[in-house]
Chain A
Amino acid sequence: MKPSLKEHLLALLAKLAPLWGALVFVALWWIATSLKVIDPILLPSPADSAKALWKGMMGGSLWHDFLRTVTRTLLSFIIAVAIAVPLGIVLGSSDKIYRAVEFIIDFFRSTPASAMFPLFLVLFGVGEKTKIAVAAFGAALVILFNVAYGVMNARKLRQLAARVMGASRIGVLTDVTFWESMPQTFVGMRSGVSLALVIVIVAEMFIGSTDGLGQRVINSQMIFDMPEMYASIFAAGALGYCLNLLFLSIERKFVHWGGK
């Protein structure tokens, strides 16, 4: 049976549902600015902000700052993964080691990474390295915790199956445990990259930066260029959103067996 026109329309409406919320949001914003409920200096119209975003991204300096932030975030994320995944597998596969370091990891994981800035400034100086190091540190702890957790909760039966087929201890680790921990590892990587972005933006605001979205937000705020500031905030939001979406889709593709 072919779906009727009405069903098609309903399906389309359902698909566009998230759009309605956004439209209502912009409409409220627009009403607020045109009725001057809020000082127009503080809250520029959606049109002005959109213009600033468009101009900045299309050949303007916003695009450059955007790319700087992306680069820093991804770089710190990659460093975090490179350190945390192997370490997490080792930690998770040994009850003794894990119990010994669990408290330390949990403690630092709960410590706001921003509180570590001064320490890292001393270690790495005022510059690029500090921003990336702190972001990598924060992300690595989140990833480490999740990987170790995933490894510890790997199905024992699959490990036994590999064992009984002749896999060595290392073989079980690489052939089974590594894969078993994948779903949890991806959870960690998603939170890790979000956290890395947060830290990079904060670092760009306060640690002598000449570029990046964080620095741009702070600068436009200081010169009261509100459309520019909102544009930068939106760019940062879009970046966070897209990163999450990207990781989700990689996860769905890669951990295809998850939840099955």
Chain B
Amino acid sequence: MNTPIDLMSAITGPAASGPSDHRWFPPGTHITVRGLTKRFGATTLYENFNLDIPRGQLISIFGPNGCGKSTLINMMSGILPIDGGEVLFDGKALRDTRIGYVFQNYREAMFPWLRAIDNLRYPLKFLKLSKAEKDARVERMIARFDVKIDLHRYPYELSGGQQQMVSIMRALIVDPEVLFMDEPFSALDYEMTLFMREQLQKVFMETRTTTLLVSHDLEEAVHLADKILLLTRKPTHVADYISFDAPRPRDTATLSTPEFVRVKAHSLEVFQREVRKP
């Protein structure tokens, strides 16, 4: 699905200029963040921030408390305005891009006046699809998550995990080009968290949607990611951007592989160095 575009950027991207160029991006890049600037009052959170997100990969974002993880994906997804710079998706602006966003607070992100199924259907309203196509999408989404949820209930009648599941399905139903998730599992209990990580990974393997996942759990961040983006304290920069190439599906055995242990240890080291900086 993405090969033609990959080829394109492979030909035109790097050949045209070198890595020192502001516009340069490596082949296979999906999202480019260039010169991003964000201030809150007198404090500068981001200043000339650059980032490349490769296509079809799951990127975990990890960093100190309040370093701007949420702010970063909120700016990318258009929830927060940016003060400078640009974010492009395949060279397109956000308004020409289909995105999905999963909020941490599922209770407040669902619409309690709609049944779960109508919550799920809601974003389809903004796509130009026939009724039959919409129904087919809903069916497909329900089949993809083989969880038994009575979707004719209202969100508040579902468990937290089920609500977040519906919320993820709602983000995916538009077949987004990019999926944003801000600590999606942090309000769930441990058992549910493990189950949801597994579900997320399964769906990711099927769809290969470029995904940005903010996580405050380093183990989770590494376990799910193709790349881990480590951020510094503010003013925020990229502290490190590490690849983790373990084959999928990854399970609990992955957690004890030398590669996992190495990447996690390295990430922790970078993180601690950042936190301890005066």
| Chain B contacts to A: CB under 8 angstroms | 77-79, 99, 101, 103, 105, 108-109, 111-113, 122-123, 126-127, 154, 156, 170, 174
Segment 154-171 of A: residues with Cβ below 8 Å from B: 155, 157-158, 160-167
A165: B residues at CB distance < 8 A: 101, 122-123, 126, 170, 174
Considering the complex, give the chain B residue whose CB is closest to the CB of A160. Answer: B79
The residues of B that contact A175 with a CB separation of less than 8 Å are: 111, 122
CA distance in complex: A179, B118 (Å): 14
Inter-subunit contact B174/A158 (CB<8 Å): no
* Measured CA separation A160–B180 after assembly (Å): 14
B171 and chain A: residue at smallest CB distance: A165
Q: How far is the CB of B66 from chain A (nearest CB, A)?
A: 19
Chain B: CB-nearest residue to A176: B111
From A157, A164, A257, give the contact of B77 (CB < 8 A). A164
Render A141-165 as a binary contact track against B, CB cut-off 8 A, 1 for contact: 0000000000000010110111111
| Chain B residues in 8 Å Cβ range of A158 | 108-109, 111
A157 x B126 contact (CB < 8 A): no
A260 contacts B156, CB within 8 Å? yes
Find out whether the CB atom of B99 lies under 8 angstroms from the CB atom of A182.
no
12 residue pairs from A and B, CB less than 8 Å apart: A157-B103, A160-B79, A161-B101, A161-B103, A161-B111, A164-B79, A165-B122, A165-B170, A165-B174, A166-B126, A256-B154, A257-B113
Q: How far is the CA of A182 from the CA of B112 in the complex (A)?
A: 12
A165 vs chain B, min Cβ distance (A): 4
**A157 with B105: CB separation less than 8 A:** yes
Q: In the complex, what residues of A have CB within 8 A of residue B112's CB?
A: 257, 260
Q: What separation, in Å, do the CA atoms of A256 and B153 have in the docked complex?
A: 12
**A166: contacting residue among B103, B109, B111, B123, CB under 8 A:** B123
How far is A146 from B156 in the complex, measured between Cα atoms in Å? Answer: 25
Contacts of A164 in B (CB 8 A): 77-79, 99, 101
Which residues in B have their C-beta under 8 angstroms from that of A257?
A: 112-113, 154, 156
Centre residue among A157, A158, A164 by max chain B CB count within 10 A: A164
Q: Are A157 and B109 in contact (CB under 8 A)?
A: yes
State the A residues within 8 Å of B (CB). 155, 157-158, 160-167, 175-176, 179, 182, 256-257, 260
Residue from A155, A166, A167, A175 whose CB has the most chain B CB atoms within 10 Å: A166
Complex CA distance for A179 and B112, rounded to whole angstroms = 9
Nearest CB of B to A191, in Å: 22
Name the distance in Å between B176's Cβ and chain A's nearest Cβ: 10
A residues in contact with B170, CB < 8 Å: 165
Q: Report yes or no: B122 in contact with A157, Cβ–Cβ below 8 A.
A: no
B111 near A179 with CB under 8 A, answer yes
B96: min CB distance to chain A, Å: 12
User: What would 19 more interface pairs be, CB under 8 Å, given A164-B99, A165-B174?
Assistant: A155-B108, A157-B108, A157-B109, A161-B101, A161-B103, A163-B78, A163-B79, A164-B79, A165-B170, A166-B123, A166-B127, A175-B122, A176-B111, A182-B113, A256-B113, A257-B112, A257-B113, A257-B154, A257-B156
Bound-complex Cα distance A155 to B105 (A): 12
In the complex formed, the residue of B with least CB distance to A161 is B109
Chain B residues near A160 (CB-CB < 8 A)? 79
Nearest A residue (CB) for B80: A160
Complex Cα spacing A10 to B210, Å: 63
Please name the residue on chain B nearest to A254 by beta carbon. B113
Given A157-B108, A257-B156, A179:B78 Cβ within 8 A? no
| Residues of A contacting B78 in the complex (Cβ-Cβ under 8 angstroms) | 163-164
A170 to chain B, nearest CB (A): 13
Measured CB to CB, the nearest residue on chain B to A257 is: B112
The smallest beta-carbon distance between A167 and chain B, in angstroms, is 7
Residues of B close to A260: CB separation below 8 A = 112, 156
| A167 to B101 CA separation, bound complex (whole angstroms) | 14
A175 vs B114: C-alpha distance when bound (angstroms): 10
State in angstroms the CA–CA spacing of A20 and B15 once bound together.
90
B78 nearest CB neighbor, chain A only: A164
Residues of chain A lying within 8 A (CB to CB) of residue B126: 165-167
Q: Which residues of B contact A256 (CB under 8 A)?
A: 113, 154
Report the minimum CB–CB distance from B9 to chain A (whole Å).
27
For the complex, give the distance between the alpha carbons of A210 and B126 in Å: 56
B212 → chain A closest CB, angstroms? 13
